[in-house]
């Protein structure tokens, strides 16, 4: 647990993944696979439900500064419960860690567990299966950028356009 975090992420907590435009979502409204690969590396960053507006503001500013090309903008957020990504058919699927950061105590990361070898299945195929599962579990409960926190960041987000 991060020293900056108020505690472990509970199963019933909502998590918010920021989606960039124009390529952050597929035609069916699910997150583009390219943007969730971090779960297999350093962790897929999300904000927890209890994050205050300053944490959302800081996250938006950090995303705007990091995206190349700079024309990219926050398209919205996908929201889902921690338990949805943590479990699959009663077994552990993905890990959700509280990873509070300076200014963002309610930051969390989704991490893929070590892949379990299966006879006759390549590691690449195992990773692809896990990636598809994560995308399906994140789902498509999308909130457009202009509606995040009841429009609290509309001006900030328009600056990114």
Please choose, from the candidates 94, 109, 145, 156, the residue with its C-alpha nearest in 3D space to the C-alpha of residue 15. Answer: 109
The model's confidence at residue 19, banded by pLDDT at 50, 70 and 90, is: very high
Q: Which residue has the tokens 């699910």?
A: 30
CA pair distance 108, 8, nearest whole angstrom: 9
Residue span of the structural domain in which 90 resides: 14-148
| 6: in domain | no
Spatial contact of 19 and 31, defined as CB atoms under 8 Å apart: yes
Higher pLDDT, 2 or 121: 121
Name the residue among 83, 91, 129 with its Cα closest to residue 110: 83
Please write the tens of the pLDDT for every residue from 26-59: 999 999 999 999 999 999 999 999 999 999 999 9
Instruction: Give the global pTM.
Output: 0.91
Give the pLDDT score at 160: 47
* Residue 139, pLDDT score: 96
Domain count, the chain: 1
Query: For residue 161, is pLDDT > 50?
Result: no
Question: Is 9 domain-assigned?
Answer: no
Give a yes or no: residue 156 inside a domain.
Answer: no
Q: Residue 86: name the closest of 73, 101, 71, 96 by CA.
A: 96
Q: How far is CA 75 from CA 18, 66, 80, 81, 104, in A?
A: 8, 15, 17, 20, 21
Question: Which one has a higher pLDDT value, 69 or 133?
Answer: 133
Mean pLDDT of the chain: 91
CA distance 46 to 60: 12
Q: Specify if 91 maps to a domain.
A: yes
């Amino acid at each position: 647990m991060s020293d900056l975090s108020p505690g472990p992420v509970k199963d019933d907590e909502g998590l918010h993944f920021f989606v960039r435009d124009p390529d952050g979502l597929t035609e069916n409204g699910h997150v583009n696979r390219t943007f969730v690969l971090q779960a297999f590396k350093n962790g897929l960053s999300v904000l927890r439900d209890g994050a205050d507006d300053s944490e959302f503001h800081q996250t938006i500013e950090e995303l705007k500064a990091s995206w190349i090309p700079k024309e990219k903008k926050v398209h919205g957020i996908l929201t889902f419960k921690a338990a949805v990504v943590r479990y699959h058919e009663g077994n552990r699927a993905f890990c959700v860690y509280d990873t509070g950061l300076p200014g963002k105590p309610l930051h969390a990361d989704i991490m893929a567990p070590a892949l379990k070898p299966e006879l006759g299945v390549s590691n690449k195929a195992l990773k692809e299966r896990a990636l598809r599962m994560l995308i399906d579990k994140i789902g498509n409960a999308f909130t457009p950028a202009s509606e995040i926190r009841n429009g609290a960041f509309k001006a900030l987000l328009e600056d990114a356009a």
